[in-house]
Structure 1
Amino acid sequence: MTMSEADDLVLLSVDEVFDLSLRVLEGAGLGRPHAEAVARTLAASQRDECHSHGLHRLPGCVMTVTAEKFARDAEPEVADAAPALVRVDAGYGYSLLAFERGLPLLVEKARRGGVAAMAISNCFHFSALWPEVEALTDQGLAALVMTPSHAWVAPAGGRKGLLGTNPIAFGWPRPGGHPYVFDFATSAVARSDLALHKAAGKPIPEGWGVDGDGNPTTDAATALEGAMLTFGGHKGSALSTMIELMAGALIGERTSLDSMAFDEGLKLAPCHGELVLAFDPVVMSGGDPAEGIVRAEALFAGFAAQGARLPSERRYAARARSLAEGVSISRALHERIVALLP
């Protein structure tokens, strides 16, 4: 790194990222429990070098928090809806506090019955899903989480936004190490990555988006105004549709089209639902998960034997590095965030 490049960066500890996020969010009027939940997730994303979901998201959070549609002091309502189902009404606040409040009951149900679901409704969502997945793998559970977004993504063969970026995440607990976790949008790329390319004036690869007429484009701004594309053509389109159905229609919540209509052009974080599934390896294996653990570890060892990388390995390496050395963000972003302080 050159001297000029270093001058354009600000070094922060992970705790400082949390503290800065908390001050900005509370200054914008967000209630303390919500602000802490959001700040924890922003700090975790920045720590793990998930830059598009870290402090980059904070100005957008402030814009959402200050909107009339958002409930700054919403108190999530947790309901024991059925033997294997927890329902949480986020009350038009962020999803993160609703998830935290419903988590203990979800874990209890999964350990009792082997599998349990949590349906979160009326929540604004902006974050990655892996922090929620890791909260479940920390309890020794496997997890699957999914959510719609806004209708920014054209289906395979289409040219207009119909589907959301629709992320899906999975986690598998591992003895004595980090869990196996993947978390990805079913769009070719997260929308925030398009925004980062636009801000940097960088072209995007073909296959990320199309213009308003459905023509391929390498211009991020054009794709943001036109439509994004799913990954893997019809396969990504089908998976994205499944998420619309499972985390939208199935739980009585908004699809990405509904979320965009609810937004009314304000460009806030999407407001919809979230589906969380938890699986207990002890119950699911018939009481003795040891053999399954051995088979899973043999599978993971096969990756290493071929020199293949498991998902999240780079993120875990970044986590260790950030905790030891701190994180760097651009001075421009830091100044933008500091300007949000009361």
Structure 2
Amino acid sequence: MSDSNTTDFTNPSTFILLGIPGLEAAHIWISIPFCTMYAIAILGNFTILFIVKREPSLHVPMYYFLCMLAITDLVLSTSSMPKMLSIFWFNSREIDFSACLTQMYFIHCFSAMESGILVAMALDRYVAICHPLRHSTILTNPVVAKIGLAVVLRGIMLILPYPFLVRHWTYCRTNIIPHSYCEHMAVVQLACADIRVSSYYGLFVIFLLTALDVFSIAVSYTQILRAIFSIPTKDAQLKTFGTCSSHLCVILTSYIPGLFSFFTHRFGHNVPLHFHILIANVYLLLPPMLNPIIYGVRTKQIWNRVLRLFTHQGT
């Protein structure tokens, strides 16, 4: 029996991404909605950035945080989609080892940043509704910049061990990744070593981010709801709550697919692999596509600027 498949190799020069295992024949068809979602995400998020930059009236904390979210979504989707589409369209499955680690780092780092930005946006809504007269003095531009810097540094530092641990392991069985991008655990599970350090650290990061961020958002919205229900008139309650509805929709689209993908990867052994990979891909595409749509449609200031932009272009 040949030992060619069991030859030890450390830090293989390339990995092979399978795309969506079991659905290779449908890759072309799957690429159509994925490419459409990516195009909408690019157009929508650049539109948000363009409108906020052009409109001085939007130079306030809520829209600064929205711009941070747009930039994060652009990087997050662009880190995975070009390579994914090359697999679907050209069967270009090879990815350099260093490029794989870079992709892994950017995907997980900017996912962590997005979660932090959602917390910052919840804080902004809390101050705006519970302390409206002090909003401009509490969330000044320097404070917003410091919050943004803290979110970025937290993402960078928490995810930094991922590529270093992955590079440390020895890979002696295969370099084929049954995934469409270099997801952390999908790569780590190829190692023929005790990977508990990577696995436990990944769990620690996920639970730290999820517990800390979801708890912070929950506390903010508990106070917000208390303030809303204390408003005497129903119309005023609905109007005030409407200012938070966009953010709540974004939270749901960001956390639900991500948590589902995470738990099925570690514990959903009965979940078909192709279904898990599809959900993991949707997790990287759905929030970047929906976030600008949600804010564009449900936020009057942005929607009016979008209509004005296209109206002026059409005249």
Q: TM-score range by the shorter chain?
A: under 0.3
TM-score (norm 2): 0.27
TM-score (norm 1): 0.26
